[in-house]
Chains A and B, each alone.
Chain A
């Protein structure tokens, strides 16, 4: 199904958020996730089912003032 990941649409096999991170090569713990503008804690990724056209945000540390 098609999922938007950080603003770009991807065709993925994953059915939950945890699988999506693995499928897309995100292996570190130093990430935070949101689905459809709602924060999904690390502990809930494996139980967060994805549906077509979901919008997933994967954020990481970045420079800031």
Chain B
């Protein structure tokens, strides 16, 4: 069902990543400013200094839902194994499924993605698939058991915004009852607002906040943008016209010429 995330209604439509902040303190402050209720995290080799445990303590104190990813995986097998490990560490059935197919664009390998989604869904995972705006791939992911689709707006970290708005609008129309999240490519608050105006259920942002000059300020801007876009959608925008339509009444205008 749209606007739910495997049965959960989230208090905020903004999801926030945890990577690339200048410091843990800035990350924590950014989360507080964003109002985000979901944090994406990853798994990496534990260091001798137990850096992973320190990071976990910071995340735990944020009091947000955890969405582990399979970032960096290139095959279904690798992603499935990573998901198994993530479930044990984070004690959640949620998994943001990423299977990367192209080194430069980080475009998902949709064939491996669908295969991994099927395996994980059958095992009880609640899969958030990082995908493209391809409608047929979306259909396949839903058939595989996904209840959410997370299309990219643009390549990860590129900040280009919604480079194929038509494709995202078509997804909303094609899947009216499925929760849709824009995942990747957001650079500015207006990008996030636009995604919400299109009827998306949430926006996931990381680089645009973490790499901003002032991450907490950008986090706050993204939060307001998401809320504005969502409210604008709910308010019912006017239809776009080619020609002007006077807003000031014509009746009662003085004859002065």
CB under 8 Å from chain A, chain B span 37-74 = 40-48, 50-53, 55-56, 59, 68-69, 71
- Supposing A28-B53, A65-B207 touch, asked if A59 and B85 sit within 8 A by C-beta, the answer is yes
Task: Give the interface of B toward A (CB within 8 A).
Answer: 17-21, 27, 40-48, 50-53, 55-56, 59, 68-69, 71, 81, 84-86, 88-90, 156-157, 204, 206-207
Contact A63 B20 (CB under 8 A): yes
How far, in angstroms, from A28 to B88 measured CA to CA in the complex?
13
Number of A-B contacts (CB under 8 A): 103
CB-defined A-B contacts under 8 Å, sample of 26: A26-B46, A28-B53, A30-B53, A32-B84, A33-B85, A59-B45, A60-B43, A60-B46, A60-B50, A60-B51, A60-B53, A60-B56, A61-B52, A61-B53, A61-B55, A61-B90, A62-B41, A63-B19, A63-B55, A64-B40, A64-B41, A64-B42, A65-B40, A65-B156, A65-B157, A65-B206
How far, in angstroms, from A48 to B3 measured CA to CA in the complex?
43
The size class of the interface chain A forms with chain B is 20 to 34
Contact B56 A61 (CB under 8 A): yes
CB under 8 Å from chain B, chain A span 33-65 = 33-34, 37-39, 41-42, 57-65
The 10 A-B residue pairs with the shortest CB-CB distance, nearest first, are A60-B52, A64-B42, A32-B85, A65-B17, A65-B206, A60-B46, A62-B44, A63-B19, A6-B45, A39-B84
**Residue ID in chain A nearest B78 by CB atoms:** A37
- Supposing A6-B46, A31-B46, A34-B81 touch, asked if A63 and B53 sit within 8 A by C-beta, the answer is no
Pick the residue among B19, B48, B51, B85 that contacts A64 (CB under 8 A): B19
How far, in angstroms, from A36 to B19 measured CA to CA in the complex?
28
- Taken residue by residue from 6 to 41, chain A's Cβ proximity to chain B (1 for < 8 Å, 0 otherwise) reads as 110000000000000000011010111110011101
> How many Å from the CB of A21 to the closest CB on chain B?
10
**Residue ID in chain B nearest A6 by CB atoms:** B45
Provide the residues of chain A in CB contact with B52, threshold 8 Å.
30-31, 59-62
18 more A-B residue pairs beyond the given contacts A6-B46, A59-B45, A65-B157, with a C-beta to C-beta distance below 8 A: A25-B48, A31-B89, A34-B81, A39-B84, A39-B88, A58-B45, A60-B44, A60-B50, A60-B52, A60-B56, A61-B42, A61-B53, A61-B89, A62-B41, A63-B21, A64-B43, A65-B18, A65-B71
